[in-house]
Structure 1
């Protein structure tokens, strides 16, 4: 079933909330940064993609156990209590399948804000066709924009730099991730998306970023990605041409 988030998973006054390490992490959100989203115009937010969007990741002591896209939705909801969020992300889903199985659902939701993050699972299969993946992402973004959505695209943190990743697969994985990041950045430039570029983030070579599977960010990684997403969206909203109009 598709998850429909009507409220954040963690309320500010929830007993036992253990996020002390997150509060001290230099890369995570600081008190007051959520105000960067104040006055945003969006009320219907949808996310499409693979496991990056679904939110897979191991829990980490001292960090909230919440995926980064859900965190972004919660931060947006703090300034628009009627915001409705749908997360269509599914693990093990190639970009072509995101377009064929999620796009129509997303369009039917009539979003004014959409996040697209896919292609990561394509980098794990035997043959990675970066041009085909780029074509699928471009088609998804274009269709959403044609319906009036502000679209967020993402170049995720380069996890191939992590010491947790086995050296035997690191080089090939690094090439593929770089190709995906570059292709997504080109699409963002060509189509004018709100782009969150995390690829060269300094945390990528940390030894405590990945889950036990060596593929997905753990909850520290999700907390950092959420922080950078809030900052990127806030910077977008601060653009002079948007201060007195829709994003």
Structure 2
């Protein structure tokens, strides 16, 4: 077990904390990475935390913009999730994408920091995102190879079946809910082998929706999320346009 003192989190909305709103935190988001940092800070009198993740970022910009910035901060722990936004694009060269990811992970591992990577979630049950299941599985196998090559630890999201519960997801069905972020913090701390006081979310039995209620929910989701999301793809814009990293430098938690 190791007490970390310089933690840097990289990635997109998953790591920025979208789905876990909290006005007390930068960008109005808490998220699993902030929760992990809180637990690590409780174990060290000299703890610093930076979160460079920005929603909507593709893997290329994450590697190009965040990796060197992270290396400059001299971390002893780095978490990085990248590629989720790429995997939802119509056309994708997965091999080229993961080759670029490999280059970034090599830089991070060369610092001597503990590096944690993530597999993508198995959304096979989802009527929409389930269509990407084969692509996600290929990505995950390549990510496992990158992790093995560079001695990175792996948070195996693909195998976390507790996320089959819709309540672990926010209203947009794409980002984790508060409960989802709490649970992910617990999962990351388990991989690190760090003692913590986070309990698994106790959601109780899932409510059964009548078919009419489900249809109404699906129509609302299509109108409020899917159509605007497709519109951004067509216009070439991103939900992260104009958004800055929530914690660009290593600072103590306040």
Same fold (TM over 0.5): yes
Aligned to 1:147: 111
Using the TM superposition, give the Cα deviation of residue 142 of structure 1 relative to its aligned residue in structure 2, in angstroms. 0.5
Helix, strand or coil for the counterpart of 1:151? strand
Q: Which residue of the other structure, out of 188, 202, 210, is the alignment partner of 1:229?
A: 188
CA distance in 2, matches of 1:43, 1:131: 34
8 A Cα contact 2:9 2:15, kept in partner:
yes
SS in 2 for 1:102: helix
**C-alpha distance after superposition, 1:94-133 (max 9, x if no partner):** 1111011111211111111111111111111121221122
Is 1:75 aligned with 2:72?
Answer: no
Q: Within the alignment, does 1:53 sit opposite 2:12 as a pair?
A: no
Which residue is equivalent to 1:125? Answer: 89
Instruction: Describe the superposition over 1:175-231 as per-residue Cα deviations: whole angstroms up to 9, x where unpaired.
Output: 232222222112111211121112111213212122111211111111111111111
Q: State the number of aligned residues.
A: 188
User: Residue 135 in 1 paired to residue 99 in 2?
Assistant: yes
Residue of structure 2 in register with 1:217 after alignment:
176
How far apart are the structure 2 equivalents of 1:154 and 1:56?
Answer: 17
- Please name the residue that 1:3 is paired with: none
Q: What residue is the counterpart of 1:109 in the other structure?
A: 73
- Taking a change above 3 Å as real, the CA distance of residues 137 and 191 of structure 1, as seen in their structure-2 partners, is same
RMSD: 2.0
Show structure 1 runs of 5+ residues with no match.
1-38, 60-64, 236-247
Q: Would you say 1:172 and 2:131 are equivalent positions?
A: yes
Out of 146, 150, 172, the residue aligned to residue 187 of structure 1 is 146
Whether the 8 Å CA contact 2:108–2:115 is kept in 1: the answer is: yes
